[in-house]
Amino acid sequence: MKMKETFQYPSGVEPVFALIADEKFRVKAAEATGGLDVSATVADEGRATVVTLSRTQPADVPDFIKKFVGETVTVKQVEKWRPPAADGSRTADLRMKVAGQPAEFNGTATLKPRGDGADFTVQGDVKVSVPFVGKKIEPLIAKAIAASIRHDVHAGVKQLGS
């Protein structure tokens, strides 16, 4: 299932990217959404900044899905951020995988300058590889991903404003 969400930051690309690449901020933001066993690492891999976030969180899905996944899910998120482009934008390859489950997101995240602020767009494909029900579950997973990103953006806006 295709997914695309765009959010706005009141700060430019580089201050926002500094938060994205801040391990302490990423852990704090994930814990604020009920994340447990949260870890974040940021590594410089030559021409890419790789942010890896792992968290266990309550499974915010209907009961019929909880029968399969349990009360919590562990999500591993990997972002491979490229250096700034000529226009100041930054782009990352983004992958989220639910541990032990056939659910994943593969796409991109982009920070683009917009006046005094920045637009943050996440787009890609949500895939649940379960015969017969996977396509019905994908919109629920996409909704959960969008909610998580929305919360992180809100936390970032709050942090940048303080």
Helix intervals (H) in 6-133: 13-20, 23-32, 63-69
- Which of 104, 109, 82 has its CA nearest to residue 5? 109
The mean pLDDT of the chain is: 91
Q: Which pLDDT band holds residue 132 (cuts at 50, 70, 90)?
A: confident
Q: Which pLDDT band holds residue 144 (cuts at 50, 70, 90)?
A: confident
Q: What is the CATH number of the domain that holds 43?
A: 3.30.530.20
Structural domain boundaries, residue 41: 2-161
Number of structural domains the chain divides into: 1
